[in-house]
A = this chain, B = another copy of it.
Amino acid sequence: MADVVVLTPNPAVDVTYRVDEQRIGETQRVRAVERRPGGKGINVVRVLRTLGVDALALAPLGGAAGAWITDALADLGIPARAVPIAADTRTTVTVVDDLAHPTMLGEPGPLLADAEWEALADATATAVAGARVLVVSGSLPVGADPARVGAWVRIAREAGVRTVVDGSGPALLTAADAGAEVLKPNREELLAATGAASEPEGAAELRRRGARLVVVSHGADGLRAYGDGEPVHVPTVAGVTGNPTGAGDAATAGLVAALLRDDDLATALRTAAAAGAAAVLRPVAGEVDPTDVRRFLADLDPAPGDPDAR
C-alpha cells in the first residue's frame, strides 16, 4: 500500500546510442548503449522515491521490453505493479554524438485489448485503495481512447484519493471533466488541448470543466498555477544548465511531494521548480539529488530561512 500511485499508460525502454557522428544512410557503430525504464510516469515515481515518498509504479507491460522494465524497476528498488499485455511495450531510441542535437526515434506503443484496459482500470482501483494520490503521467499509446484517463481519475475520486494528471490532448480534457484535482500541462499542450487563445483562458476552460488547479509549466520560465485565487507564479532556479530531459517529470514529483505535506500553493510550486532544476543537473531523466532540491528550494524562498523548518 503506497501513498502515491503513479500510472504510466505508455511506458518505454529508453535506449540511448552514442555514435561518433550521426549520419543518415550509413552503418554506424554504436560506441555506448544505455537502457533505462522510461515514460514520464516512470521518471515521476523514481524522483518521488528519491524525495522519500512512498510511491508505486503502475503500468501495462508486455513482451521482452515489458519484462526488461519490470526487472529494471526491481533493480532500482522501485515497487511496481505490472498489468500484463500481449503486445510489446514500446522502445525509444535516442542517438547522440558531440556534434549535433540528439535524434529521437519513438515507437507509437502497443495496442491494448479492451480486456487489458479493463485490467489496468481494475489494477488502478486496487492500487489506490488506501493511497493518498494518484498520478497519471505521460502519453497514451497511439490509438487509445482518451476517455481512459478520465475513468482513472473517477476511480481515484470515488476512493477519496487525490489526482494529478500530466497529459496532453483530449486526455487532458477527459481528466478535467472527471474532476482531476491538479492538471499539469505545459503551455503548448494547454493551448492545443483547449483551443484557447491565451493561457489564462485555457486554464479557465479546464477549471470550468472540473479541474481544481491547473499548473502550467513554461520550461525555463517557471511554473504558473491557476486555482481559486489569483494565479501564482514561481520562476525557475537561475543559472542551472544541463540536461532538461525529465525536468518536467521531476517538477511533477516535487509538486506531489508538497501536496502530501499540505504545503501552501506557492511552496508547492517552489518545490516543483526546485526538483525540476535538480533534475537538470543529472545526466539521466528520473534522477535528482535531494540535496540539490533542498538547496534550490532555499534559493527560491522569498523569505530566507531553513525550508525544512516550514
What is the interface of chain A, defined by CB distance below 8 A to chain B?
15, 17, 19, 22-31, 33, 35, 63-65, 67-68, 71, 88, 91, 93, 95, 100-108
Contact A30 B100 (CB under 8 A): no
For the complex, would chain A's binding face be called helix, strand, loop or mixed by DSSP majority? mixed
- Bound-state CA distance A103–B21 (Å) is 12
Contact B64 A100 (CB under 8 A): no
A71 cross-chain contacts in B, Cβ below 8 A: 64
- B-chain residues with CB within 8 Å of residue A63 when the two chains form the complex: 68
A95 CA / B23 CA spacing, docked (Å):
11
Chain B residues contacting A91 (CB-CB under 8 Å) are 15
* Smallest CB-CB A-B distances: 5 pairs: A25-B101, A64-B68, A64-B64, A27-B104, A22-B24
Q: Which residues of B contact A27 (CB under 8 A)?
A: 103-104, 106
Whether the pair B67, A100 counts as a contact (CB closer than 8 A) is no
Question: B105–A25 contact, CB under 8 A?
Answer: no
Question: Given A93-B93, A107-B33, are A26 and B101 neighbors across the interface (CB < 8 Å)?
Answer: yes
Does A24 lie within 8 Å of B103, measured CB to CB? yes
Residue from the list B22, B25, B29 in contact with A100, Cβ < 8 A = B25
Q: Which residue of B lies closest to A22 (CB)?
A: B24
Which of B26, B65, B108 is the one whose CB lies under 8 Å from A30? B108
Q: For residue A93, which residues in chain B have a CB less than 8 angstroms away from its CB?
A: 17, 93, 105
Shortest Cβ gap from A108 to chain B (Å): 7
Measured CA separation A26–B24 after assembly (Å):
13
Chain B residues positioned under 8 Å from A15 (CB to CB)? 91
Taking a contact as CB atoms under 8 Å apart, the answer to whether A106 and B30 are in contact is yes
Q: Known A25-B100, A100-B25, A101-B25; judge A30-B107 contact (CB<8 A).
A: yes
